[in-house]
Amino acid sequence: MTAEAESELDRLVAERAQALLDETVGENLDQLAILDVQGDDLVRTLHRAARALEAEPLTLSAGRALVGRLSAGDRVLVLTGFLTPLPETDGLVGSAVLALSMERGLGVLPVFAAEREVLPPLRAALRAAGLNVCEGLDQTADIPHPAVVLEFPHDRSDAELTAAALSEAIQPAACVAVERPGANPKGEYHFSGGRNVTRWIAPIDLLYDRVKSAGALTIGIGDRGNELGLGAIGDVVRMETPAGANCGCGCGLGNACMTPADHTIVATTSDWGAYALSAALSHLKGDPGALISGEAYRRVLHEAVQGGAIDGPTKYAAPFIDGVDDVFNSHLLELMRGAVTYPRRSAAGAPTRSFRARRRLAGD
């Protein structure tokens, strides 16, 4: 073999070995995000449906898309907040974690739009994460590490005007929806169990549709299929969830949101999907500091509760995410950190990856 051929082979082996590492890390993050603490196999069923749409693990695919699309200074619209009628922790906390990862790892400006009721705990979560909250796009020029929070109105006529104005003003390169209520085809919003909650929810779907039509990359993160951006698996949600096709509220169309995103992430709780995506960004950028620590995470969760968020299932003002306590969640986040950092540290892993990469090349 010539020196040139050997050099090309070494390059191909290194490329395949990196791909193997990426795929393994992404698969580990996906599996941690779908740890079935509810014991009903639903999350794995919905995850399989979403995974069938992607060539690689969900968190890795979405992370690659963000890294490939975003440049420093770009704006990312983040849509979150599920009113019960008080805002629940799931979504708010994960969005703050993800916003920090995108700001640290990619240098982008996170911009949030939500109902007035959602803003106090959202501000508290973002500040606890370390970001400096601004109330308008024009306030960010001299503020280090900013995140913008904007109010979105409940009234539909006002909402249509606001969606048009915000889409033009923000011009986001990407939009990520995390545990954001998604309307069914009739425009109705529901809890996962089927209860109609339209009267509490602002039609932020209008803003999502506008930025998507304008070319923004979209990512939907959810857990039961009634969330914005999960429409790519809407038919499976309708078949596999109790209220997917029949919510029982009288609207006749179930609670499944049929609005899709470019990339779908399904997790046991939506927050876990946001943590896993944050960890994937940390891996792809080779930046451990892009993922919040478990200790800092617990401050974010506690501050969100102090700011007015509650646990969705129990309705207590307690530091839980969908009934799972802060200790478990912080440990899970640290497991995700380990899933990113240990494969890079492993002295044994590198030669094995190279060996397997050569085997794959030989089989092509």
- H helical segments located in 232-293: 234-240, 270-285
pLDDT digits (tens, 9 = 90+) for 79-119: 999 999 999 999 999 999 999 999 999 999 999 999 999 99
Report whether 111 contacts 95 (CB < 8 A): no
pLDDT digits (tens, 9 = 90+) for 189-220: 999 999 999 999 999 999 999 999 999 999 99
Kindly list the structural domains of the chain, giving each domain's residue range(s) and its CATH number in brackets, ordered by start: 26-363 (3.90.1640.20)
Distance CA 331, CA 294 (A): 7
pLDDT digits (tens, 9 = 90+) for 126-172: 999 999 999 999 999 999 999 999 999 999 999 999 999 999 999 99
The predicted pLDDT at position 347 comes to 62
- Prior bond of 146 cis (ω within 30°): no
The predicted pLDDT at position 229 comes to 98
Closest CA relative to residue 85, chosen from 154, 166, 150: 154
